[in-house]
Amino acid sequence: MTDKPDQVIGELRQYLARFAPRHRFRDHDSSQLIGLLKGCWSSIGGSYEEAMAEHKLERAYDLEWQPPLLTFRIERHGSYMVGSNRAEKQWWEIDIDQARVVELGTHGYRQVVPNAPRFDVKPLAEEIVGIACEGRDDERLRWAADRSRVTLNLAKALDLATGPSPNQTREGRRKRLARAVQELMVASGWLHQGRNIYERPSSTSGSR
């Protein structure tokens, strides 16, 4: 039978009483402490702030005992799961006597995956503008019926050129591509109508 959280928090207090103030638990000797902390997590006030949960304590590190406070650091991967390439680093401070979180905060980020190399948008911009100026059909372009107006799907153009990428990287590339395309399209005589929409001057419309 699983021990009740209140019983486990008593065991946690007894366990921590063995250690002198400012004791730091290294990775190799923190497993028992983390196990006890997981067992009583639901009895600690404020423990579920920031969508925290027992199983995430497996990532805790730099645990330090300064009676009555137990502090630790932990990487949170929520932003990484939704497209960022960084993990948030948090620190938690728990009053073991009062069984409550007294403070928590963020102390930076860790790069989970390397930043993607900077993508040169110029060749892709030149290709898209060339297709538009020639009035050709392409899956990245949507033409008005009279071919006087074209809408450019730059997100699709990037997906085809680079494949999947983190959301932040993809958005940065899309903005740089949009700027490069706009510069080339305007220089070629197109009128920018906003939202990647361009219109030929009336004298040159209907090329096909």
Q: How many domains does the chain have?
A: 2
Q: Which of 90, 111, 132 is the last residue of a domain?
A: 111
Residues 97 and 130 reside in one and the same domain: no
Higher pLDDT, 66 or 202: 66
Residues 131 and 67 in one domain: no
Residue 116 in any domain: the answer is: no
Give me the pLDDT at residue 107, please: 59
Distance of CA 130 to CAs 148, 176, 182, 199, 202, Å? 15, 18, 13, 15, 19
- What confidence tens digit (pLDDT) does each residue in 188-207 have? 999 999 889 999 977 444 44
pTM: 0.48
Same domain flag for 126 and 51: no
pLDDT at 16 over 90: yes
**Domain of 99?**
5-111
**pLDDT tens digits for 70-102?**
999 888 765 443 344 556 788 899 999 999 998
When the pLDDT of each residue in the chain is averaged and rounded to a whole number, the result is 84
Amino acid, single-letter form, for residue 85: N
Residue 117 lies in a domain: no
Residue type, 4: K
Q: What is the pLDDT of residue 88?
A: 77
SS3 (DSSP) at 41: helix
User: Are 102 and 135 members of one domain?
Assistant: no
Answer yes or no: do 39 and 129 share one domain: no
- Name which of 175, 166, 183 is nearest 117 in CA terms: 166
pLDDT at residue 113 is higher than 70:
no
1 or 202, which is more confident?
202
Rounded to whole angstroms, how far apart are CA atoms 141 and 157? 9
CB contact set of 37 (below 8 Å; sequence gap of 6+): 12, 57, 60, 70
Q: Looking at 111, 142, 166, which one is the last position of a domain?
A: 111
**What CATH number corresponds to the domain at position 136?**
1.10.10
Predicted pLDDT at 166: 64
